[in-house]
């Protein structure tokens, strides 16, 4: 089996997620090719048994280069089993047990909205859609971004401790996701 993973990232968490998935596929004897959408990769997609597209959310949108990459290949992606992984702070709010029910509902609505926007921008209906919680990298942000993200985090129930980074990604869930893709593609 052969799988392509195409990702876009701004602060690096989606690259870590893409690399983790690549390892999880390889452990299941899948051949994996990993591409950064920023490098405008143009592989022959038909050679793959499945394609995973992963991107992160900033200001309510996925990366421009990923939207463009998908839009240009939407018809091909529609024919090959394909997954979309959307990495966001909102999904952390959906999963965090410390969030109030209202915060969780709002987070769920935000995740649904960015997925809808991505679908409208690309015209692509993935076979699997998997929202994944990202990370707050306070130590890497500049002063302004740190202040904005802290204010958003206060409202949404995420950590406001800016002295360190906070990773919300559920790696065990990604491991299971990789397994389910491999078994579904095998079963076809």
Ligand X SMILES: Cc1cc2nc3c(=O)[nH]c(=O)nc-3n(C[C@H](O)[C@H](O)[C@H](O)COP(=O)(O)O)c2cc1C
Q: Given the complex with ligand X, which of 56 and 122 has the nearer CB atom? A: 56
Q: Given the complex with ligand X, which of 18 and 30 has the nearer CB atom? A: 18
- Quick note: the x/- pattern for ligand X over 83-122, rule CB under 6 A, is ----xxxx-------------------x------------
Across the chain, the runs of DSSP E, i.e. the strands, are 2-7, 31-36, 50-58, 61-62, 82-88, 128-133, 135-136, 166-167
Q: Is 57 one of the binding residues for ligand X (CB under 6 A)? A: yes
Q: Is 24 one of the binding residues for ligand X (CB under 6 A)? A: no
Query: Using the 8-state DSSP alphabet, how is residue 43 labeled?
Result: -
Q: Is 75 one of the binding residues for ligand X (CB under 6 A)? A: no
Nearest 5 degrees, angle CA 67-CA 69-CA 74?
90
Q: Which of 3, 4, 13, 177 binds ligand X (CB under 6 A)?
A: 13
Residues facing residue 51 across a β-bridge: 4, 82
Binding to ligand X, residues 117-146 (CB under 6 A):
134-136, 141, 145
Binding to ligand X, residues 149-168 (CB under 6 A):
149
β-bridge pairing 166-167 and 135-136: antiparallel
Closest residue to ligand X in the complex (CB): 134
Distance between CA atoms of residues 38 and 6, nearest Å: 10
Q: Is 11 one of the binding residues for ligand X (CB under 6 A)? A: yes
Q: Is residue 116 exposed (0-12), middle (13-18) or buried (19+ Cβ within 10 Å)?
A: exposed
Binding site for ligand X (CB under 6 A): 9-14, 56-60, 87-90, 110, 134-136, 141, 145, 149
């Amino acid at each position: 089996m052969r799988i392509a993973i195409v990702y876009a990232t701004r602060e690096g968490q989606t690259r870590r997620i893409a690399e983790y998935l690549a390892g999880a596929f390889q452990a299941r004897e899948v051949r994996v090719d990993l591409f950064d959408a920023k490098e405008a990769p143009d592989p022959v997609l038909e050679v793959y048994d499945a394609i995973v597209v992963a991107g992160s959310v900033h200001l309510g949108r996925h990366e421009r280069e990923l939207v463009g990459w998908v839009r240009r290949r939407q018809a091909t992606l529609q024919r090959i089993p394909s997954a979309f992984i959307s990495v966001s702070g909102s999904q952390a709010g959906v999963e965090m047990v410390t969030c109030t029910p209202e915060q969780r509902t709002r987070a769920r609505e935000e995740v649904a909205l960015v997925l809808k926007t991505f679908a409208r921008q690309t015209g692509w209906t993935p076979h699997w859609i998997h929202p994944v919680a990202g990370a707050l990298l306070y130590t890497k942000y500049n002063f302004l971004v740190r202040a904005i993200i802290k204010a958003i985090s206060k409202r949404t129930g995420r950590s406001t401790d800016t002295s360190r980074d906070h990773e919300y990604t559920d790696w065990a869930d990604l491991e299971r996701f990789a397994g389910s893709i491999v078994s579904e593609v095998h079963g076809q």
